[in-house]
């Protein structure tokens, strides 16, 4: 540990000019005349400017500290003869990485310190509103990635081809995983399984950190050997992380209707249909909400895409809202109960916060209601039939009448029947569904 402290102090002393630069620019928020583009009040302008400067200078520090951590001394062949005493690979790696992290934190703190002393409450509120603390791992990932890329570009080895190819493959793979329903935002709230997001982020950080350690161990005196060793460890570790994510997604989707342990919503059946929508969480699968259509007579069930699903009175169609593939909008999916046909309707921008879906009794039309308007679509062709604004605002009153149980082959499944009455803005009855 003494060797780690020695390397740590040496790195901070070599880059202390970054702290001096941070102290110099930290007074800029107190001179609004130097920043003519800021038109807010003095206190708000000071806090906004300080956060902008801290973010920009922090990104610069992360990149600079990462690139110069190993590449400079490797290019000069000084890393193999570090100081006069022998230092192990992990001690050298730990000292440099910890020094870069401490330098980044110190620069960010120095830039914000004068503003904090002048407007402590405003700065704390702004940091909380911007959720800066949860975003700190991004700065750490940028620092570690800059350290790897700095050596990779200077090595001029053929492993750079492997880096670009593997980076493209893993970027596509992680984007595909992130677009799965377990990672997407629905109704303004994320349904991401917490440990999946933690696994993805931690796996990426650990992979880059292990790659840097492997580079120091394998190629302390040779940049090409450093690059080869770190590349093998990096992409192997990311492959393990991607495999664990895919296995986790497979495990989550393997849950059946009999695995639900917390049934928090049950769709209503009608006199003409025996189908219901059942939603709940499954054991050992996080907080993801699984949704199924269930036949209370035969026990037949099938998974559907969203907890907020609606089913027609005759049981012919089911509909739900799910995010689009790029997670920037929402799509309305209308599907027959038997799965013979599916229609996907792209919702207008800003319609991802849908309060209620209502299918007509025969399943030929669907009304999509949110706090601003109601839109009616044709379920056969996806054409929009009508749309209304605030005059068509819907007030919903739900009365739970009774509950009954339908025994399934494995265990009893509780269901409830509801009667939903909707009224328009003029007080007249708009629609009734039992």
Least confident of 64-78, 160-174, 269-283, 416-430: 416-430
Task: Looking at the structure, tell me whether residues 33 and 126 fall in a common domain.
Answer: yes
Length of the chain: 434
Task: Looking at the structure, tell me whether residues 36 and 183 fall in a common domain.
Answer: no
Is pLDDT at 208 greater than 90 in this prediction? yes
pLDDT value for 38: 54
Q: How far apart, in Å, are the Cα atoms of 276 and each of 5, 72, 216, 309, 310? A: 64, 65, 60, 10, 9
Task: Looking at the structure, tell me whether residues 302 and 213 fall in a common domain.
Answer: no
Hey, which bits of 42-181 come out as E strands? none
For the segment 371-402, what is each residue's pLDDT rounded down to a tens digit? 677 888 899 888 888 887 644 444 333 333 23
Asked whether 234 and 144 are in contact (CB, 8 A), the reply is no
The three-state secondary structure class of 164 is helix
Task: Looking at the structure, tell me whether residues 362 and 336 fall in a common domain.
Answer: yes
Range of the domain at 205: 158-254
Task: Looking at the structure, tell me whether residues 243 and 314 fall in a common domain.
Answer: no
Chain centroid to Cα 136, Å, comes to: 15
Average pLDDT over residues 240-264: 87
Last residue of a domain, one of 155, 172, 201: 155
Model pTM score = 0.73
Q: What number of other Cβ atoms are within 10 A of residue 196's Cβ?
A: 21
Burial pattern 149-176, b for ≥16 Cβ within 10 A else e, equals: bbbbebbebebeebbeebeeebeeebee
Task: Looking at the structure, tell me whether residues 350 and 366 fall in a common domain.
Answer: yes
* Separation between Cα atoms, residue 31 and residue 46, nearest integer Å: 9
Domain count, the chain: 3
Task: Looking at the structure, tell me whether residues 330 and 314 fall in a common domain.
Answer: yes
Of 416 and 148, more confident: 148
Chain position carrying tokens 């269901």 = 415
pLDDT value for 194: 67
Last residue of a domain, one of 195, 219, 254: 254
Please, which pLDDT band fits residue 429 given cuts at 50, 70 and 90? very low
Task: Looking at the structure, tell me whether residues 115 and 185 fall in a common domain.
Answer: no
Partnered with residue 422 across adjacent β-strands are 396, 431
Task: Looking at the structure, tell me whether residues 173 and 238 fall in a common domain.
Answer: yes
Task: Looking at the structure, tell me whether residues 293 and 419 fall in a common domain.
Answer: yes
For the segment 35-50, what is each residue's pLDDT rounded down to a tens digit? 555 555 777 778 888 8
Please, which pLDDT band fits residue 292 given cuts at 50, 70 and 90? confident
Among 248, 127, 146, 166, CA closest to 199: 248
Task: Looking at the structure, tell me whether residues 311 and 421 fall in a common domain.
Answer: yes
Give the tokens for residue 202. 């931690």
- Torsions phi, psi of 299, nearest 5? 80, 0
Last residue of a domain, one of 109, 135, 155: 155
Task: Looking at the structure, tell me whether residues 350 and 249 fall in a common domain.
Answer: no
Q: Which residues contact 172 (CB under 8 A, 6 or more apart)?
A: none
- Mean pLDDT over all residues of the chain? 77
Task: Specify whether the backbone of 187 is left (phi greater than 0), alpha (psi in -120 to 50) or beta.
Answer: left
- Torsions phi, psi of 325, nearest 5? -65, -30
């Amino acid at each position: 540990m003494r060797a780690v402290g020695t390397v740590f102090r040496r790195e901070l002393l070599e880059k202390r000019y970054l702290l001096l630069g941070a102290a110099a620019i930290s007074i800029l928020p107190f001179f609004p005349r130097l920043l003519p583009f800021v038109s807010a009040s003095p206190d708000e302008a000071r806090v906004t400017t300080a956060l902008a400067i801290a973010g920009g200078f922090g990104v610069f520090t992360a990149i600079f500290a990462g690139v110069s951590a190993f590449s400079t001394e490797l290019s000069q062949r000084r890393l193999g003869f570090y100081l006069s005493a022998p230092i192990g690979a992990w001690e050298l790696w730990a000292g440099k990485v910890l020094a870069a992290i401490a330098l980044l934190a110190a620069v960010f703190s120095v830039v914000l310190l004068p503003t904090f002393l002048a407007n402590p409450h405003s700065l704390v509120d702004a940091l909380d509103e911007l959720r800066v603390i949860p975003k700190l791992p991004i700065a750490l990932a940028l620092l570690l990635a800059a350290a790897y890329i700095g050596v990779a570009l200077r090595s001029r080895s053929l492993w750079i081809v492997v880096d670009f190819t593997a980076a493209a493959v893993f970027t596509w793979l992680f984007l595909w995983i992130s677009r799965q329903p377990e990672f997407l935002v629905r109704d303004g709230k994320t349904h991401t399984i917490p440990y999946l997001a933690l696994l993805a982020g931690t796996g990426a950080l650990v992979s880059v950190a292990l790659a840097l350690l492997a580079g120091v161990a394998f190629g302390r005196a040779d940049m090409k050997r450093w690059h080869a060793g770190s590349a093998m460890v990096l992409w192997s570790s990311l492959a393990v992380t991607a495999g664990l994510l895919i296995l986790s997604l497979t495990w989550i989707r393997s849950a059946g209707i009999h695995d639900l342990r917390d049934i928090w919503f049950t769709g209503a059946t009608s006199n003409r249909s025996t189908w219901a929508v059942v939603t709940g969480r499954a054991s050992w699968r996080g907080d993801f909400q699984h949704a199924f259509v269930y036949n209370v007579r035969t026990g037949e069930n099938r998974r559907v895409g969203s907890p907020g699903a609606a089913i027609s009175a005759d049981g012919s169609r089911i509909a739900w809202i799910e995010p689009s593939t790029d997670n920037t909008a929402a799509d309305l999916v209308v599907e027959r109960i038997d799965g013979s046909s599916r229609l996907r309707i792209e919702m207008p921008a800003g319609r991802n916060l849908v309060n209620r879906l209502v299918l007509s009794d025969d399943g030929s039309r669907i009304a999509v209601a949110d706090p601003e308007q109601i839109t009616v679509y044709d379920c056969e062709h996806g054409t929009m039939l009508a749309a209304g604004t605030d005059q068509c605002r819907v007030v919903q009153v739900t009365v739970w009448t009774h509950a009954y149980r339908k025994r399934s082959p494995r265990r009893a499944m509780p269901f409830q029947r509801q009667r939903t009455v909707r009224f328009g803005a003029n007080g007249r009855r708009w629609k009734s569904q039992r």
